[in-house]
Amino acid sequence: MHKAILLGLLAAYATVPQGQVGGVWIRASQIGYLPGDRKIAILSADAPLSGKFSVGDFAADIGPDQGPWGPFQHNYRLDFTAQMKPGRYVVRFGEIGSLPLRIGEDVYEDVPRRLLDFVRLQRCGNNPVTGKQCHQKDAIDSETGERVGLVGGWHDAADRIKHMITTSYSVAALLLAGAEEEGRYGASFLKKIHPEADTLYVQIGDDRDHGLPFTLWHEDSVDYGWGPGGARPAWRATGKPQGPRYRNASTGLASLAGRCAAALAIAGDLDRARSLYTLAKKNPGCAQSVPVKAFYYYGERTYHDDLEWAAVELYRATKDRQYLEEAIRYAHLAHDESWMGKAWHGHYEYFPYVNLAHWRLYEFVDNDTKVKIATYYRKGLEEVRRRAEQNAYRLGTPLVWCSTNDVIAFATQAVLYEKMTSDRRYRGLAAEARDWIFGRNPWGVSFVCGVPEGGVASSKPHHLFYKLVNRLPVGGLVDGPVYGEINRALQHAPFGEDPYARFQSDLAVYHDDFNDFATNEPILDGTASLLLLLRLWQD
């Protein structure tokens, strides 16, 4: 299929300089477009182009050259927003065509189900997809040596680790997206990680599971100090740096405790939510994941947004005015703190990437506070817009590790801003960010494993079910492209033959290869974020 896309001679009303070297490519969303969407495909080439393109019975000029970006010297924005007729189409420039796409109200209809398929596959303890049990001995407290009952939850990504940093957010996002069954499954596990008023676990297991031999989760034979396949450590959030070799930079518990409180308040467990909120207020600062073998960890550094989130969800559940007053105070402390506008940020530094608490709080505050909260959102959106307008893809998010999280967060914040203010100025840019995920990118690849069915999507992900039993974790959102510098720094094994070699550059690298965990590992929180975005867009 790729060969057909990448090769061909331009004809009809397309004109190309004589002696052109290289090819011409069209990238569009493989999922397709809602009738009212902004619809932009990208035409890229090694030499300047001119002429018209067509989408069904619609035709228009390819427009001005947008200049070089990444691997392409010449890029053109093919705007077919005016084509609103439902149907199946190909974007054509002479004999060059995009992958097939659809226009219709139902183009995203099947995507949420596939995203939830991945989340269910990630379940730890008793897995409904495989029918197998795993990690039934979880866990032993890393501080006290006592056994604690922490069976359940989700494996975070391709590994066996259970990260509460991402689990806490995923529970809330799933519930807000209407995924009740899966959200409540995760909420039942969040209760377990806070067994006492002053206790909260940030991680179960660690990166000792990364070594050979590779095994499926239910065959895990790693020795964490209690025998092969035995109990795993439950890393207690201590509020200070942890790690036997490499140490994180933890400063408190408020980020994790506040987010857990918000998730459990949404789930209706108000007693546990209140307890976690109290713990969060007593321990300002951030709880980070615990590295053991490798130097990288989830380095969250913001927490006022999580305190705001906890307070507003408790207010929504109880209508206790004290929670509302505290939520407003934390909202102004969190203000517009974000990665937006930056070319670079640390790994999970601004997690969960978008402050959902501002949206959840907005309807309950006075007009002056509404203006301030909307301004916090708008400032970040403007920063991304400013960067996006510098390239044909209108990509304004940094290509750091787990870049798809940033892309989805921007689109989500734009949708929420519109819901709050009725200001639609960022809707088109949000649609272009969403379309980047589903194939409107230099590689022409959907970053959701196996979605759409029959399309060109991540097919060799860094996931043990793919590696060991050739089972594609369909519906899992992968990390996505990163700067070349990051990819080189994180490479741990040779990549195989790269069918996308022509589309790599120092600016942006993506490999559909098991060995590239920096760009092709499916992630729990990103998948839940995409599910929430699609639900918000639908609403």
Contacts of 494 (CB under 8 A, 6+ apart): 515
Which residue among 42, 70, 103 closes a domain?
103
Same domain, 123 and 57: no
Q: What is the pLDDT of residues 326-364, one digit of tens each?
A: 999 999 999 999 999 999 999 999 999 999 999 999 999
Task: Provide the b/e sequence for 257-271 (b: ≥16 CB within 10 Å).
Answer: bbbbbbbbbbbebee
Same domain, 117 and 92: no
Same domain, 219 and 254: yes
pLDDT value at 22 more than 50: no
pLDDT value at 2 more than 90: no
Same domain, 39 and 146: no
pLDDT value at 69 more than 90: yes
* DSSP-based three-state secondary structure for 137: coil
Nearest to 172 by CA among 256, 98, 247, 267: 267
Q: Quick one: how far is CA 345 from the chain centroid?
A: 15
The parent domain of residue 185 ranges over 111-444+520-538
Same domain, 268 and 172: yes
pLDDT value at 6 more than 70: no
Q: What is the pLDDT of residues 441-463, one digit of tens each?
A: 999 999 999 999 999 999 999 99
* Domain CATH for 14: 2.60.40.10
pLDDT value at 16 more than 80: no
Q: What is the pLDDT of residues 278-324, one digit of tens each?
A: 999 999 999 999 999 999 899 999 999 999 999 999 999 999 999 99
pLDDT value at 139 more than 60: yes
145 domain-assigned: yes
Mapping DSSP onto H, E and C, the string for 244-258 reads: CCCCCCCCCCHHHHH
Q: Quick one: how far is CA 494 from the chain centroid?
A: 26
Domain count, the chain: 2
pTM of the model: 0.95
